Amino acid sequence: MITRRDFLKTTSTSMAAAGSAKLDSAALWIQRSVKPVVISDYSGWEFRNGGTENAVERAFRLITEGKDVLDALIAGVNIPELDPLETGIGYGALPNADGVIELDASCMHGPKKRAGAVACLQGVRTPSLVAKAVMDYTDHHLIVGDGAQQFARAMGFNVENDLNTENSRKLWREWKRRIDPEHWLDPNGDARKPIPKHQKDPGLEAGLSMVRDGLIREGSFWGTINCDGIGPNGDICGVTTTSGLAWKIPGRTGDSPILGAGLYVDNEVGAAGSTGRGEANIYNLSSFLIVESMRRGLSPKDAGMEALKRIKDNTIEKRLLNGKGTPNFNIRFFVLNKKGDYAGVSMYRAGETKFAVCTENGARTLELEPLLTGSPEDA
C-alpha cells in the first residue's frame, strides 16, 4: 500500500519531470528556430562565373534546402574560385613573384568541431574543397606545398600545370616591368614611369601603383573571400579561400589557412573571418579574438571593432604606418553570432567598402563600419 504522503511526492516528481521535458522541448525549439544567414566579403556578391547566383545566394539556397552548412558555403565560394574574372581567388588569380599561382584555404565545421586547411597549393582551382578533404579524411588541420598537391591528386582532384589565364599573365608581366624596366619591356612602348629603385619595397609599391592606375582591384590585390553561415538549427560554419597577396614571395602563407586568424568558428558562439593584410591578422589571431569577445557578450560589430583596435595598437613599425601614424593597410572582418546577428567592419572605409549578406529577404550589400576615418594612404 502507498501512503498519501508518498502518493503526493511521486505525483509532484512526475509533474516536475513532465514540466522539465516541456521546458527542454521549448528550449530546443527556440534553438532550432534561428533564421538562416550567410555573410561574406564583396566577392561573395560580385562574381557569378556566368551563372545566375553569386556565392551568398547559392550558399543560402542550399542551406534552406537542407544541405550541410559547410557544404553549402563551399559550394558558394566555388563560384568566385572558378571565375577567371576574380583575380584574387582560385583560377586566374594574381600569381606570386615567379608567376606561379599558389592558393590557400581553410574551413571549420561548428557542430563537428573539425577543421581543415591547405596552403601554397598549386594546380587545383578549388582549394576550399581540398581543405574540406583534409578535414574529412585526415587527422590533420593543415597540409602545405607539394604535400598539399600530392594529397589533392590522391583524393581525385584534377591537378593542372598552370592556373594562369592570359589576363593574370599580362598583369604579372606589367608588375615585372614596373620593378625591373631594364629587362622587362612594354611591347606597346608605354612610357609609364617605373618604380624608383630606392623604394623600401619596390615589389609592393609596384602592385599598389597598379591598383591606383585601375589595372587591378584593391580586393584582388589582397585576394580572399571569407564566407560564414548559420543554418535553421543553429549550426555555424565558415570557409576562407584565397590566392594571397599578389606577387608574394613564393611560399608565403597569409592568414587565410591559419585557424584563429583568417577564420574561426565556435558553434556555441559564432564565426569570424577576414580579408586584407594577412600578416597583421596572424599576429593578433583576430578571428579567434572576435569569437572570444562575442563569448564575453559583445555584439558582432563591437567584437570586430575590438580586433581592429588591437591591430592598430600593435602596429608600431614605421614602415607599416602612414603620415598620420595609423596603419598604412586595410583589413576587414565579417562576423556572425549564434543568434544570427552579423556585422562587417574595416580599418578604413576605403577600397572595398561593402560586404554581402543573404537572408530570407534575399541578397544585398551593406556598408562596412570603419574604425578610422580617411584611408591607408593618408599623408
What are residue 271's phi and psi, to 5 degrees?
Answer: -145, 155
Mean pLDDT of 23-50: 77
The dotted CATH code for 35-164+217-372 is 3.60.20.30
Using only C-alpha atoms, the chain has a radius of gyration, in whole angstroms, of 24
Domain positions in the chain are 35-164+217-372, 166-212
The CA distance from 212 to 31, in Å, is 48
pLDDT at site 33:
73
Residue 368 near residue 349 (C-beta atoms within 8 A):
yes
pLDDT at site 28:
41
Residue 156 near residue 136 (C-beta atoms within 8 A):
no
pLDDT one-digit tens code per residue, 171-230: 999 999 999 887 787 777 665 556 655 566 788 889 889 999 999 988 788 889 999 999
pLDDT value at 287 more than 80: yes
One-letter amino acid identity for 285?
L
Tell me whether residue 11 is one of the annotated catalytic residues.
Answer: no
Residue owning grid cell 594577412: 278
pLDDT value at 49 more than 70: yes
Instruction: Check residues 272 and 204 and name the one with the higher pLDDT.
Output: 272
pLDDT at site 250:
97
Percentage of the residues of the chain whose pLDDT score is greater than 90: 80
pLDDT at site 182:
76
Instruction: Check residues 144 and 193 and name the one with the higher pLDDT.
Output: 144
pLDDT at site 189:
66
One-letter amino acid identity for 274?
S
pLDDT at site 21:
43
Catalytically annotated residue among 87, 126, 224, 315: 224
Mean pLDDT of 292-315: 98
One-letter amino acid identity for 124?
V
pLDDT at site 275:
97
Give the global pTM: 0.88
Report residue 32's pLDDT band, with 50, 70 and 90 as the boundaries.
low
pLDDT one-digit tens code per residue, 67-116: 999 999 999 999 999 999 999 999 999 999 999 999 999 999 999 999 99
Determine which of 166-170, 191-195, 278-282, 374-378 has the lowest per-residue pLDDT on average: 191-195
pLDDT value at 362 more than 80: yes
The CA distance from 97 to 252, in Å, is 10
Percentage of the residues of the chain whose pLDDT score is greater than 70: 88
Handedness of CA 23, 233, 229, 363 (dihedral sign): negative
Task: Give the angle 131-107-135 at the CA atoms, nearest 5°.
Answer: 50
pLDDT at site 195:
62
